[in-house]
Amino acid sequence: MARRPDIGIFGSGAWGTALGLTWAQAGADVVLWSAFPEEVALLTAGRCHPRLKDAPFPDSLTVTGDPSRAFQAPLWISAMPTQATPEAWRGLRKAAPAPPELVIHVSKGILQSTHQTLTQALAGVLDVPVGALSGPTFADEVARGVPSAIVLALPPAVPEARALELQAQLASERLRIYLSRDVVGTELCGALKNVLAIAAGLVDGLKLGYNARAALITRGLAEMARLVEALGGQPSTVMGLAGMGDLLLTATGPQSRNRTFGELVGKGHSIEAARDALGGQVIEGMSTTQAALALAAEVGVELPIATEVQRLLNGEAPQEAVRRLMTRSLKSE
């Protein structure tokens, strides 16, 4: 009889796979579930992810198209694309023999349809506590064992003793876990940093220089803080790994899809051409921008940088976005 897995990961994209690799290499028995038979066949045959070619799968990482194997794990990790996640879990929940103790999701964004975070949406779908894992991490570096740090945000329904156990379970010598109870702040930071990274890429594409990029990142952080605090998040989260750390990485790192997308648009590519140049990968900031603006409007918060990113996505000229930001009414910092 097969050993009961320690962790079940639902979603076999680069990020979910990178985490599975990390935990498997640290000694956990990990099952990675994919909804796509062709992907299961590819990962099983090659024993590596096509976007993580320098990180072969250890024996303790199993790929499956049968969710029942992943359901056996006491800890479920949700790693599917943000906008598809709630509907995917509605189907998976019906097939699950029993609900888990909790679910931790690792996706970033705000739902376009409801303007909810994923913990809010999934708590309703699954009727169990839902936490989030978020921070400044590129999948390829985590998969290769490059030292990284990330935030595990858990709701009050998870007792402190259990939270500390989960922190220790998911940490390794190469992945340092910081515990937080600010779930909404952690999620909003992870969502907004993708929007701001598009704007940072735009600055790079227009060759506006390091001064402009530093100003944009700093004012973007202030924009992030306004929304987080209006929705009950903590200022310390914005200034920590989930906020400032993830924003700095995504707005400056060459592996960032969102930053690269913005850079291509700044260089004159159309929205469609920029997406095609990235091989059809998900650009999280594109779907998050409109939802973030709608959420901000509901609580009376102004997001000028996100507003210009949305105009950019609607086809307006990049130079106009910069002009409007630079000629806004003068304010105190």
Residue 333 in any domain: the answer is no
Tell me: pLDDT of 328 over 80: no
**Banded pLDDT at 2 (limits 50, 70, 90):** low
Q: What is the mean pLDDT of the segment spanning 299-322?
A: 93
**Banded pLDDT at 321 (limits 50, 70, 90):** confident
| 152 lies in the same domain as 50 | yes
Residue 87 in any domain: the answer is yes
Residue 144 in any domain: the answer is yes
| 164 lies in the same domain as 17 | yes
Q: What is the mean pLDDT of the segment spanning 59-77?
A: 96
Q: 35 exposed, middle or buried (CB, 10 Å; 0-12, 13-18, 19+)?
A: middle
Q: Which of 53, 108, 193, 207 is catalytic?
A: 193
- Alpha carbon separation from 122 to 84, 103, 128, 181 (Å, rounded): 12, 9, 8, 17
**Banded pLDDT at 197 (limits 50, 70, 90):** very high
Q: What is the mean pLDDT of the segment spanning 281-290?
A: 92
| pLDDT per position as a tens digit, 217-234 | 999 999 999 999 999 999
Establish whether 207 is a catalytic residue. no
Taking the complete model, does pTM exceed 0.75, yes or no? yes
Element (H, E) at 131: strand 130-134
| 56 lies in the same domain as 116 | yes
| 25 lies in the same domain as 152 | yes
**Banded pLDDT at 323 (limits 50, 70, 90):** confident
Residue 186 in any domain: the answer is no
Residue 47 in any domain: the answer is yes
**Banded pLDDT at 330 (limits 50, 70, 90):** low
| pLDDT per position as a tens digit, 246-255 | 999 999 999 9
Residue 187 in any domain: the answer is no
| 196 lies in the same domain as 235 | yes
| 157 lies in the same domain as 264 | no
Residue 236 in any domain: the answer is yes
**Domain of 281, in residue numbers:** 192-326
Cβ-contact 134, 190 below 8 angstroms: yes
Tell me: pLDDT of 329 over 80: no
| 124 lies in the same domain as 207 | no
> Quick one: pLDDT at residue 281?
83
What is the domain-level CATH number for residue 134?
3.40.50.720
Total domain count for the chain?
Answer: 2
